[in-house]
Amino acid sequence: MSKWFRPKRFGIAAWLCAVAVFAQDDAAYRRMLESKREVTEYLIRRADEITARAGAEMATPGEWEKSRAKRLEEMRDMLGLLPWPARTPLNTRIAGVLDKGSYTVEKIAFESMPKIYVTGDLYMPKQRAGRVPAVVYVCGHANSPNGDKTQYQRHGISLAKNGYAAFILDSIQISETFALHHGVFSQEMFDWYARGYTPAGVEVWNAMRAIDYLSTRPEVDAARIGMTGRSGGAAMSWFTAAVDPRVKVVVPVMGISTYSANVRANTQRGHCDCMFAINSWMHDMLHQGALIYPRPLLMAHGEKDTLFPVPGYEAFAKQMKTLYGNDSFGNIVVDTGHQDSDYLRGEAIKFFDKHLMGVKERKLDMDYSNAPDETLTVFGGKPPADAQNFRVHETFTTRGAPVKYKTQAAWSARSVELREQLRTRVFGSIPAVGAGGPLRLSDSLLRTEEGISITYSLRVPRGAAAAPAVVYIASDGEDAKSIDDTLRGVASRGKAARMVVYPRGVGPVPWEKTFWKDTLRNAMHVGRTVDSMRLYDVMRAVEFLRAQAGVDGGRVMVMGRGVSGALGLYAALLDSKIEQVMLLDPPVSHVSGPLFLNVLRYTDVPEAAALLAPRRLHFYGRMAKDFEYTRGVYELMGVGDRVGVAMNVEWVAEGKFGNGFASGL
């Protein structure tokens, strides 16, 4: 033993105390590691279930037709395209035309939505015998200050040289007018999930508006529109073709898998947010292909591409072959990583020839010579000053400020609507509470669902027949001592039961942020978030508490600090038997948490809190100004005295409200 830890130097008592602290720290660390293992395996199981369920839905063409219409509507919803945005004027401008001999390049901008500018280059063959088929080419991530369209010129040139109009669109991130693709991926804008926002929705809408524009061109046959792209462009090809039947033929290159394969390999670490819909309806990627069926579909993959695991695209191809059963579907596998190639460019045109142009195999002109990047820009480095692209993530799906209702009937109608929206559109993927009940594993561990255990503590007053109860929801980093201080009065009076719940991943040693973020993104793939999983843990813990001897299950108060308090609020909204809620410094908006998929499409924290009326809602110490909206609804409903500031946890738990009493402490 080191001299620094000899008992005789510090004294036996000090040494034993240090040993106990180290043991506690080690136990907390081991508990954190175990929770990481549990949640990782849990998400893999959920992803496996989603992929298997999707495969069963499309076992045969006839079976798939039973689900198609519903799944199409859900896909639009998960992209933020239900209902469709208004088809406002495109306000198209052509900044110039390049004459390249056998084809021209038009530099075009249009507004897909008011002040949301889309830039692209339209490659048009000069030799045309009537109207020509058109292909929308959507770009992957290829960095350029002049837009990623400049890095994919070879595709536009090859298509135009072989008789197609080709419209190459800038993605919104690598464009002449900037917007984000990487909000969750790298910018820590985790509120995108609460907003139900994915940049894929904007990209799909931009592509659809590009088709609107192509349909106005006299050179283009609007009945023969195809779509292709690589990587992020492949994803936009999948999504757009899935929701827009005007896309007659589609060739996505390196851009599909299954959620089973993706979650197992944790591929989200390498993926932009644009690659995924907000999977609140628990689709698999298989649904994207099934929604395209029976239109011709050719996909291509690299067997060394770690972004799209081989088992994933092989399972996808197998399922599509079951649906198609003919040469309208194909999967090309090349011996490369995640990269484009001349070979794949040629194979895409051959597929368009067969299914879009209706010509037999021919010799293609694949030679190309790129123009200087700067000659292909629309705005020449001076985009419109009124462009709102940079804010589109705030406006595309997020609901505006809540309405202040003037009558009880108006609020009652709104509350019915909002409860249904929360139940089906926000929490539809959360399992039902009460199926078998939570399982007590030990005096400190509770199993809340398959493979998930959480830490808890429970103290019931000695000899109590029906004591009220306080459920405290711990936050990351909180330890038993800090929580004991908060609940000191409850313990000293001994009149109320006290339960402390540490939802999955919460503890004195929390998950590191990288793991939390990985878990958040993988959870989205299976219709959940970290906070929605933690919410379920809280609800199961309350269910367990009610079954304990000496506890009055009808007199339960849930409370917590910050986001954890808001989890308690939502637990009460989903569980009408919870009597009251106490919030300590709660977030005033879901922009700060809790993160539930889509919640900001429908409401925000102050309006959601009003749904608790007429049950009691307490703000410990202070109530933020934003919650005056909540108070207004309580007053409208005639229960204004049931919302406000409380200074004493124990008395509130025991049913004594206000401050007109002596504490006795």
pLDDT at 659 over 90: no
Query: How many domains does the chain fold into?
Result: 2
Share of the chain above pLDDT 70, in %: 95
Highest mean pLDDT range out of 204-218, 262-276, 437-451, 464-478? 204-218
Residues 483 and 584 in one domain: yes
Mean pLDDT, range 59-79, rounded to an integer: 97
Residues 479 and 606 in one domain: yes
Mean pLDDT, range 464-480, rounded to an integer: 93
Residues 168 and 252 in one domain: yes
Q: pLDDT tens across 329-358, in order? A: 999 999 999 988 999 999 999 999 999 999
Last residue of a domain, one of 364, 395, 426: 395
Residues 571 and 613 in one domain: yes
pLDDT at 23: 57
Give the number of C-alpha atoms closer than 13 A to the C-alpha of residue 529, restricted to the C-beta side. 25
Judged on CB neighbours under 10 Å (0-12, 13-18, 19+), 591 is: middle
Contact between residue 536 and residue 449 where contact means Cβ atoms under 8 Å apart:
yes
Report yes or no on 44 lying in a domain: no
Mean pLDDT, range 496-503, rounded to an integer: 97
Residues 284 and 336 in one domain: yes
Q: What are phi and psi of 128, to 5 degrees?
A: -135, 130
Report yes or no on 626 lying in a domain: yes
Residues 461 and 341 in one domain: no
Confidence of residue 619 (pLDDT cuts 50, 70, 90): very high
In angstroms, the CA 137 to CA 230 distance is: 9
Confidence of residue 118 (pLDDT cuts 50, 70, 90): very high
Contact between residue 537 and residue 454 where contact means Cβ atoms under 8 Å apart:
yes
User: Are β-strands 452-459 and 580-584 bridged in parallel, bridged antiparallel, or unpaired?
Assistant: unpaired
pLDDT at 11: 60
Which residue is it, tokens 């000069």? Answer: 126
Confidence of residue 8 (pLDDT cuts 50, 70, 90): very low
Handedness of CA 640, 642, 646, 651 (dihedral sign): positive
Contact between residue 627 and residue 569 where contact means Cβ atoms under 8 Å apart:
no
In angstroms, the CA 625 to CA 637 distance is: 20
Q: CA nearest 649: which of 462, 503, 495, 425?
A: 495
Distances (CA, A) of 230 to 253, 402, 662: 5, 41, 71
Which residue is it, tokens 């991130």? Answer: 173
Q: pLDDT tens across 375-403, in order? A: 999 999 999 999 999 999 999 999 999 99
Report yes or no on 490 lying in a domain: yes
pLDDT at 19: 47
The 3-state DSSP class for residue 144 equals coil
How many separate helices (H) and strands (E) can be counted in the chain?
22, 18
Q: pLDDT tens across 12-29, in order? A: 555 444 445 455 678 999
Confidence of residue 98 (pLDDT cuts 50, 70, 90): very high
Q: What are phi and psi of 311, to 5 degrees?
A: -60, -30
Q: CA nearest 452: which of 34, 27, 25, 50?
A: 34
Domain holding 255, by residue range, is 93-395
Residues 296 and 179 in one domain: yes
Report yes or no on 552 lying in a domain: yes
* Residue type at 642 in one-letter notation: R
Confidence of residue 91 (pLDDT cuts 50, 70, 90): very high
DSSP state of 656: -
Report yes or no on 21 lying in a domain: no
Query: What pTM was estimated for this model as a whole?
Result: 0.93
pLDDT at 278 over 70: yes
Residues 329 and 451 in one domain: no
pLDDT at 489: 86
pLDDT at 436: 64
Residues 262 and 387 in one domain: yes
Q: pLDDT tens across 396-453, in order? A: 999 999 999 999 999 999 999 999 999 999 999 998 876 666 789 999 999 999 999 9
Residues 390 and 453 in one domain: no
Q: pLDDT tens across 308-329, in order? A: 999 999 999 999 999 998 889 9
* Cis preceding-peptide flag for 252 (omega within 30 of 0): no
Q: Which of 12-26, 137-151, 257-271, 492-506 has the lowest mean pLDDT?
A: 12-26
Q: Identify the CATH number of the domain in which residue 222 sits.
A: 3.40.50.1820
Last residue of a domain, one of 336, 363, 395: 395
Structure tokens at 152: 């994919």
In angstroms, the CA 443 to CA 597 distance is: 33
Contact between residue 567 and residue 605 where contact means Cβ atoms under 8 Å apart:
no
The 3-state DSSP class for residue 178 equals coil
Mean pLDDT, range 165-191, rounded to an integer: 93
Residues 209 and 172 in one domain: yes
Report yes or no on 543 lying in a domain: yes
Report yes or no on 88 lying in a domain: no
pLDDT at 22: 53
Distances (CA, A) of 10 to 16, 25, 561: 10, 20, 38
Last residue of a domain, one of 334, 363, 395: 395
In angstroms, the CA 426 to CA 573 distance is: 13
At CB < 8 A and 24+ separation, what contacts does 417-424 make?
418/602, 418/603, 418/607, 418/608, 418/611, 419/573, 419/611, 421/602, 421/603, 422/573, 422/574, 422/599, 422/602, 422/603, 422/608, 423/574
662 vs 578, residue with greater confidence: 578
Kindly report the average pLDDT of the chain as a whole number.
Answer: 93
pLDDT at 6 over 60: no
pLDDT at 464: 85
Mean pLDDT, range 512-532, rounded to an integer: 97
Structure tokens at 305: 């591409």
Contact between residue 171 and residue 151 where contact means Cβ atoms under 8 Å apart:
no
Query: DSSP readout, 343-384?
Result: HHHHHHHHHHIIIII------------PPPGGGG-SSTT---
User: Which residues are paired to 329 by β-bridges?
Assistant: 297
Structure tokens at 635: 């007053």
Q: How far apart are the first and last CA of the chain?
A: 47
pLDDT at 433: 78
Q: Which residues of 200-219 are buried (b: 16+ CB within 10 A; e: fewer)?
A: bbbbbbbbbbbbbbbeebee
The 3-state DSSP class for residue 177 equals coil
Q: Which residues of 481-513 are buried (b: 16+ CB within 10 A; e: fewer)?
A: eebeebbebbeebeebbbbbbbbbbbbbbbbee
pLDDT at 7: 41
Report yes or no on 23 lying in a domain: no
Handedness of CA 545, 550, 554, 557 (dihedral sign): negative
Structure tokens at 579: 């009597």
Confidence of residue 143 (pLDDT cuts 50, 70, 90): confident
Task: Return all residues near 60 (Cβ < 8 A) that are at least 6 apart.
Answer: 322
In angstroms, the CA 289 to CA 61 distance is: 12
Structure tokens at 2: 């080191």
pLDDT at 13: 54
Residues 188 and 108 in one domain: yes
Query: DSSP readout, 308-333?
Result: S-HHHHHHHHHHHHHHH-STTEEEEE
Mean pLDDT, range 109-123, rounded to an integer: 98
Confidence of residue 491 (pLDDT cuts 50, 70, 90): confident
